[in-house]
Structure 1
Amino acid sequence: MSLPAFIDLTVEEQAAELRQHFKALGASNIDDEQGSEDDLGNIVAVADLCFKEGSESEAEGVLNSIVSMLVLLPNEKAEPMINIFCQKLAKPPSSKLGLVCLRVLSVLFHGLEPVSPTRYTVYHALVQVAGQVEQIKSVFTDLEKMRAQLAPCKPNNDQMQKLLRILHEALLNSRESELASNVMVELLSTYTTENASQAREEAQRCIVASLADPNTFLLDHLLTLQPVKVLEGALLHDLLTIFVTEKLSAYSKFYEEKKDFVDGLGLKHEQNVRKMRILTFMQLAESASELPYDMLEKQVQLGENEVEEFVMEVLRTKLVRARIDQLNRKVLVSSTMHRTFGKQHWQQLRELMTTWRSHLRQVKESMLTIVNEQAELLSQQA
């Protein structure tokens, strides 16, 4: 990759120019007689001085010059300097300089060898800065891509947990609630039965955020996470279980008895009722292809004139496919997402796939028979 440089000079000449530049900015740790490799550490230590004076473009040029020298060093010498360099850039004094730091760190990240352990450090700083300037989507788009980027440098579990925490915070600050939820679930999945209790508070925040999100309906995967299992017996776990397996009547009873608890979580009762109505409809649709209005009125606690509007709302979520039979006052269900996907559903899916494979084999055999017969006929005619 072609890296931007402070000026088109050799490494030694760049170091000399940088020494003079930072001395002019007031650096007291710079020695005119030092060599480029020895002096680079001192230059990095005062890298943030370039934020004090001059334009953003000048600061970016200076920092990119430092980057062009860092990437040439062997890893054992570069690592401590890159750690300090990232610390200096991780707290920019303004949004404009934050964008400068974001671009410089990106150059450094892509300039390092994929297997370099310091790539993790730089990526962590990238996320931190991107979160501050609300540019997180320029760094992170999905978990799969992030894993692929960091896999060669092999970050350990503790490092990944630290990164996922700051990434979750950055996504929330950027109002990317869906991505933030995915990242939190990924974080909780890194815990085992031995250390799950350490993530108890994070599990609680994850549950509350998922319940509060008006577009999140499928929650059964949360119950499989070890930090969530630690909460079994707690009221929050009981509430989550209702949203995973129960109907609106169960939630209504829970809220009646534990109103202060639910309100204390910051959850809005009206939104909870809306979500539970949709989940109840899904559960009813799993076991019946025809849902009479009378039953819906009772199960989802709606008035006679509210059913059709509610069904239209359910259809807009695309969780259920159905049509309304106004004449006969019923809803005809074509298909629905399952609120929970357990062992029996995997077995059903396996049986379905096995049947499809058998049918495809029969089609293939029939086509081969036809081809062979046609080939034999053509051979006889020839």
Structure 2
Amino acid sequence: MSNPVFIDIAVPDQTLELRGYLKSLGAEISEENADSGILTDLKNIVEASSICWKEINNESDIEMVFNGIITLILVVPEADAESVVTLFCEKVGKAPSGDKKASSRLRMLNNLFDNLDAGSRNRAVVLTSMVRLAGQTDLLSMVPTDVDKIRTWNTKWELSTAKLQNLYRTLYDALVECKASEQATKVMIELLGTYTEDNASQARDDAHKCIVTCLADPNTFLMDHLLALKPVKFLEGELIHDLLSIFVSGKLSQYQLFYKNNTDFVQSLGLNHESNMRKMRLLTFMQMAESRKEMDFALIQEELLLGPQAVEEFVIDVLKTKAVNATIDQIQKKVVVLKTTHRTFSKHHWQQIRQRLAECDKNLSTVEAQLGTLANIKIQQQQIMATPAQS
């Protein structure tokens, strides 16, 4: 939690004190207030504030100076504040390599973020800076990274598409840097969703990153939703799209053939072939389980190119992912499938869900009617019992 920043002295006196203090540290700034207004005056102060990181050792003293600057920023009208907010984020948010005050920097940025008006677009400027710094210093736990929360904030900010994309792209890079690949994928999908058919070609690099991140993540198995994204559709006919399609609905043998013909391409993506083989084995097993209630070890061995001793260990690894629910019959050397996750969710699956829901609705209506009948019978019985017997 951050505390609001308020200094109970007049703005001209605040700027004068800050100027004098920064000059005493050795900053090249005059003590006199500028005649051109608080915005120019404040920019001069923020520009000179960098000296605090070099000349002040106590973090509390540094934060006191920058919190004083934040108080002045909050006085600047929203329409004029973006330039000074951006400059403040530049001075505070760019930590040099090996800097040990990153958490202190983040607290200052968070203080500004929290005290800006909830509808201020400048909050997005600050948040972008916070995310970038946190990603570089492995402190993402200190900043908000939830996509749903950012989407809610943006209903008030109403950022331009370019600025929203910049925020998501910065967040994606930070999450990848901190090895949070699953969350990074969610952010990238959100980013790709901001493109339309008219500008999908501009998202080429983002679409590539999204696909590679999903393929490389050992815990991501369902990827058919990527094919529906306009920037990914734009890549149809390219090797990266062909590779994604194999992971979405292809078999292990198809991946092997692709890798044989495009080894250099796969390696250029930074993907590990053995990891790809492991994932494709699991995906192929999921696909086999969709149409079979039982699978002999021999079939699994043949389809997944496993040694006789490796089948049972492989199935155990699959069960750990919870993508397939099954039991192993060691005596009869087979796997009994109880439930499996579908690799793709087609129109047929939606139709099945609709049919099942319709059946549930029908059953509930029948139960409701039966309960109504029973209730009426109960009421009639109570009325009969309450009626005095005639002599």
- Name the TM tier (shorter chain): over 0.9
Q: How many percent of aligned residue pairs carry the same amino acid? A: 44
Could you tell me whether the CA contact under 8 Å between 1:30 and 1:43 is conserved in 2? no
- The one-letter amino acid paired with 1:49 is I
Alignment partner, residue 222 of structure 2: 218
Alignment partner, residue 44 of structure 1: 46
Distance in 2, matches of 1:13 and 1:371, equals: 80
Aligned counterpart in structure 2 of residue 86 of structure 1, from 86, 89, 94 = 89
Structure 1 position 362, deviation (Å): 2.2
Alignment partner, residue 5 of structure 2: 4
Asked if 1:72 corresponds to 2:75, the answer is yes
For residues 1-382 of structure 1, the aligned pairs below 5 Å read 2-5=3-6, 9-34=9-34, 37=38, 39-54=41-56, 55-93=58-96, 95-382=99-386
Could you tell me whether the CA contact under 8 Å between 1:203 and 1:228 is conserved in 2? yes
SS at match of 1:178: helix
Could you tell me whether the CA contact under 8 Å between 1:4 and 1:61 is conserved in 2? no
Identify if the C-alpha distance between structure 1 residues 86 and 260 changes in structure 2 by more than 3 Å, giving closer, same or farther: closer
Task: Give per-residue Cα distances to partners, 1:221-269, cap 9 Å, x unaligned.
Answer: 2211222222222222212111111111111222233333323333222
TM-score (norm 2): 0.90
Distance in 1, matches of 2:3 and 2:308, equals: 68
Task: Give per-residue Cα distances to partners, 1:299-343, cap 9 Å, x unaligned.
Answer: 111233322221111111100111112233221111111111111
- The one-letter amino acid paired with 2:203 is A
Distance in 2, matches of 1:72 and 1:374, equals: 72
Could you tell me whether the CA contact under 8 Å between 1:119 and 1:150 is conserved in 2? no
Identify if the C-alpha distance between structure 1 residues 293 and 29 changes in structure 2 by more than 3 Å, giving closer, same or farther: same
Worse overlay, 315-324 or 257-266: 257-266
Task: Give per-residue Cα distances to partners, 1:139-172, cap 9 Å, x unaligned.
Answer: 1342112212332111121111111111111112
Structure 1 position 59, deviation (Å): 0.8
Task: Give per-residue Cα distances to partners, 1:199-236, cap 9 Å, x unaligned.
Answer: 22222222222212222211112211222222222222
- The one-letter amino acid paired with 2:321 is T
SS at match of 2:113: helix
Distance in 2, matches of 1:191 and 1:34, equals: 44
Distance in 1, matches of 2:245 and 2:34, equals: 66
Could you tell me whether the CA contact under 8 Å between 2:16 and 2:33 is conserved in 1? no
Structure 2 segments unaligned to the other structure (5+ residues): 387-391
Identify if the C-alpha distance between structure 1 residues 260 and 28 changes in structure 2 by more than 3 Å, giving closer, same or farther: closer
Distance in 2, matches of 1:77 and 1:277, equals: 57
Could you tell me whether the CA contact under 8 Å between 1:3 and 1:64 is conserved in 2? no
Worse overlay, 30-39 or 183-192: 30-39
Structure 1 position 285, deviation (Å): 0.9
Could you tell me whether the CA contact under 8 Å between 1:278 and 1:314 is conserved in 2? yes
Structure 1 position 375, deviation (Å): 3.4
Distance in 1, matches of 2:63 and 2:73, equals: 15
Identify if the C-alpha distance between structure 1 residues 42 and 180 changes in structure 2 by more than 3 Å, giving closer, same or farther: same
Structure 1 position 10, deviation (Å): 4.5
Distance in 1, matches of 2:45 and 2:385, equals: 87
Could you tell me whether the CA contact under 8 Å between 2:134 and 2:174 is conserved in 1? yes
Worse overlay, 64-73 or 117-126: 64-73
Identify if the C-alpha distance between structure 1 residues 246 and 16 changes in structure 2 by more than 3 Å, giving closer, same or farther: same
SS at match of 2:50: helix
Structure 1 segments unaligned to the other structure (5+ residues): none
Task: Give per-residue Cα distances to partners, 1:66-120, cap 9 Å, x unaligned.
Answer: 1122223321233332122122212123533322221111111111111112111
Structure 1 position 58, deviation (Å): 0.7
Identify if the C-alpha distance between structure 1 residues 266 and 129 changes in structure 2 by more than 3 Å, giving closer, same or farther: closer
- The one-letter amino acid paired with 1:296 is I
Distance in 1, matches of 2:182 and 2:276, equals: 18
Identify if the C-alpha distance between structure 1 residues 33 and 277 changes in structure 2 by more than 3 Å, giving closer, same or farther: closer
Identify if the C-alpha distance between structure 1 residues 31 and 16 changes in structure 2 by more than 3 Å, giving closer, same or farther: closer
Identify if the C-alpha distance between structure 1 residues 137 and 33 changes in structure 2 by more than 3 Å, giving closer, same or farther: closer
Distance in 1, matches of 2:349 and 2:49, equals: 58
Structure 1 position 196, deviation (Å): 1.6
Identify if the C-alpha distance between structure 1 residues 260 and 37 changes in structure 2 by more than 3 Å, giving closer, same or farther: closer
Distance in 2, matches of 1:76 and 1:252, equals: 58
Task: Give per-residue Cα distances to partners, 1:323-371, cap 9 Å, x unaligned.
Answer: 1122332211111111111111111111112222222222233233333
